[in-house]
Structure 1
């Protein structure tokens, strides 16, 4: 199984959709809590749905159970929580939510997890990908940059 991740910041629309097309993703799974922010530019829900269909022949899905809580995210963004603590808290949340049981492996094969951060190292999409990969096994993860 192949699972991709991507962030939209620091990328033009041309670069972003070019990476998705080159990887031949079949579906974009949005793991952001808020997918309609005006700060998202071309990565707002309705725009993404349209562009993915037209440019990449891919589907759009929003999965909030793969996003942190608002409180967790706010504390991290404000600097009240260090990355290591945030990552641990988010991993505990995934365990509590049992996302490996509600998410079907075949739905994620050839899909890309979307969040805003450019660097996957400090983004919850990496944690989600690694968590699912550990539970499902045989999962290759590629971060599109």
Structure 2
């Protein structure tokens, strides 16, 4: 398979454009949490919104959990670059994720961020690019 070979875009969708992010050409953008800075990597624009990629860097560690919530998307991918984040999920998993750890969270899955280190840095992807966050009731204890 040639490096020039690509899959056709979904029917009616524009093709994916080449994008390259560097520390000099990417901007910090508004985000969901006040304790993070969000650096947009240009993927949403290059994919016409089919995917989003950003780096989330702690301004300070969390002082309290975010609360149970869901994301309105198909999937959210989290990869820890530095530090740690403690996440809990409706399936009963609660874990501290550190450098090199990753989790794929299906859209609509209840989860909660309980704590982070003061130096956490996370690569986050979402499909599609626009991702809304909605608070929800905690899952039943069990």
TM-score, length of structure 1 as denominator length: 0.27
Instruction: Identify which of structures 1 and 2 has the higher relative contact order when contacts are C-alpha pairs closer than 8 Å and 6+ apart.
Output: 1
TM-score, length of structure 2 as denominator length: 0.28
Higher-Rg member (1/2): 2
Judging by fraction of residues, say which structure has more strand: 2
Judging by fraction of residues, say which structure has more helix: 1
